[in-house]
Structure 1
């Protein structure tokens, strides 16, 4: 990316010098020069998120989409700067004052900026419309800042009246907000109980279960000021998949897919009265883990993802998974006849 293109792309971020991202971190644009190129990192978006469902505590965990070719958007266009802020930013460049460490060439481009925003496409930076709209510019999804696609939004800031959505590729939309919220879903860790607890025994069934309401629907609403746009993305747990870490095991049920019960629990707790029953969720190891020391028992919860928006649009997003691997020792107990 050349200096000219980058400077134009970074221009609107000046309005966000005092803004905060979704984690409450002050917004910034970092620049460093290398020969004739400048690298910049723009991290601020005005999207606001609200969690509508509990996750059982703990930090937010990212889901792995079932479609490996799909990811939430890396960048998009949204309201970023007012006429007054744009004018002040260009005037700062005109005085050749450093902005985000990029000093020394502001005057070179100030004339071009003034031509575009003061006399060519707009009348005095649209100052007459102050408070009635915003200039839209590129923002980068903080969770995808290392994605090469994050630099694909290279259009100059353009004017949009309040509560209007421009017909521009990658302009923020309900679906983009829904996809953004995908990364914000408060997914709980895949924790479960086992019986026996600790070492397992060959040919003795291992019961696996999770408490009531451990896995229940959670949702996040993403909204954006000046647009009247919002979208709610909901994750609903579907099943727990067991992978014993060895072919020498039987699964219960045979598919290894334990459904999520209506109350949010999985399986059923073990009790002595059930010792002759097969567990509704579990497995039976057929060989001791003597050679490997342990078997990697993996438990993965599948979440169905759907969304709806303030415009009535909605639909499904790729199913997501989050798993946990536990090292399990399996022993063999031999009876001695006397």
Structure 2
């Protein structure tokens, strides 16, 4: 049965976590505990949503001490998934954990009305046995944005004792912390601006630029305080223009920089599209112009990610320039 461990907080001491090598690590799970979470229910505990409600979420942390921060939060997720939806995180040392469990005596008897003092002492023994040993109790957390997160969490022990300097099987790793940061990273969905704005005409240069981009460098840091942290950074490098038609009907200029160039009277047209044919034969009498922003993503040494790619779409009607020929008469 899963132990319900209350308010497990990290100390300020920096831990040295090393992967398993050679012989397998033996960890000590809790046994014989009676403080349990309801099967299949929300375990509650500390929470750290990566960004606010109302938008698609890439990371929703439950029972986790991981802190997610940065100017890359607040947008719509691009669908990046963390490979494993649950994990163990390092928690209290033996003395601190024993003190916390002694403090829940009243709650223990509340949830175990038939329990005896002897039963509670047996419950505490597993914590007392670790006092004086160098190590920590590791507790489970999960990503609720993953549909398998809660089920994965339910399959983990309520806590496991791990000797100092070692990481248990399913313990959080630096690579997974980078994945959490990447899953939380978002970039804005920009707005396409055109000049001329409402309608363009055959052979007339249409300037293209983006607004709503904000900072062109966006970062997210996922930090396990006192243990380790991982930062990923996305930098807007370029935009690509798809005019919504074939090359014989449109000329595209893509010397745009990261966000295009707003129209300037008398300026040189370097970013946009010049349509060579009317859009009258297209649906809604308009071409569908697509502007793609590409944000390469960097992490720490040895951690690579695909770029974030975001499309913005706008309908652009293109008409023929009409000319009127007047026949002059004689007086």
Q: Same-fold call, TM > 0.5?
A: yes
Change in 2 beyond 3 A, CA 1:333/1:177: same
Matches within 5 A, 1:25-36: none
Change in 2 beyond 3 A, CA 1:214/1:42: closer
Correspondent of 1:269 among 262, 265, 273: 262
Partner in structure 2 of residue 284 of structure 1? 274
Where do 5+ consecutive residues of structure 2 fail to align? 9-42, 53-59, 327-331
Q: Contact 1:178–1:307 (CA<8 Å) still a contact in 2? A: yes
Matches within 5 A, 1:310-325: 313-325=301-313
Change in 2 beyond 3 A, CA 1:305/1:337: same
**1:82-129 CA-partner distances (Å, limit 9, x unpaired):** 3444565687455436xxxxxx9x97xx97x987x755xx45363556
Partner in structure 2 of residue 62 of structure 1? 77
Correspondent of 1:74 among 52, 62, 85: 85
Change in 2 beyond 3 A, CA 1:251/1:212: farther
Where do 5+ consecutive residues of structure 1 fail to align? 1-6, 26-40, 98-103
Partner in structure 2 of residue 333 of structure 1? 321
Q: Contact 1:195–1:207 (CA<8 Å) still a contact in 2? A: yes
Partner in structure 1 of residue 137 of structure 2? 135
**Which structure has greater helix proportion?**
1
Matches within 5 A, 1:41-56: 43-51=62-70
Quote the Cα distance in structure 2 between the aligned partners of 1:24 and 1:287. Answer: 44
Quote the Cα distance in structure 1 between the aligned partners of 2:172 and 2:283. Answer: 51
Quote the Cα distance in structure 2 between the aligned partners of 1:306 and 1:296. Answer: 32
Partner in structure 2 of residue 239 of structure 1? 238
Q: Contact 2:194–2:208 (CA<8 Å) still a contact in 1? A: yes
Correspondent of 2:290 among 283, 287, 298: 298
Structure with bigger gyration radius: 2
Correspondent of 2:130 among 121, 126, 130: 126
Partner in structure 1 of residue 17 of structure 2? none
Quote the Cα distance in structure 1 between the aligned partners of 2:280 and 2:78. Answer: 31
Give secondary structure in 2 for the equivalent of 1:316.
coil
How far off is 1:179 after superposition? 1.4
Q: Contact 2:236–2:296 (CA<8 Å) still a contact in 1? A: yes
Output the aligned Cα RMSD: 4.1
**TM-score, length-normalised on structure 2?**
0.65
Q: How many correspondences in the alignment?
A: 274
**TM-score, length-normalised on structure 1?**
0.64
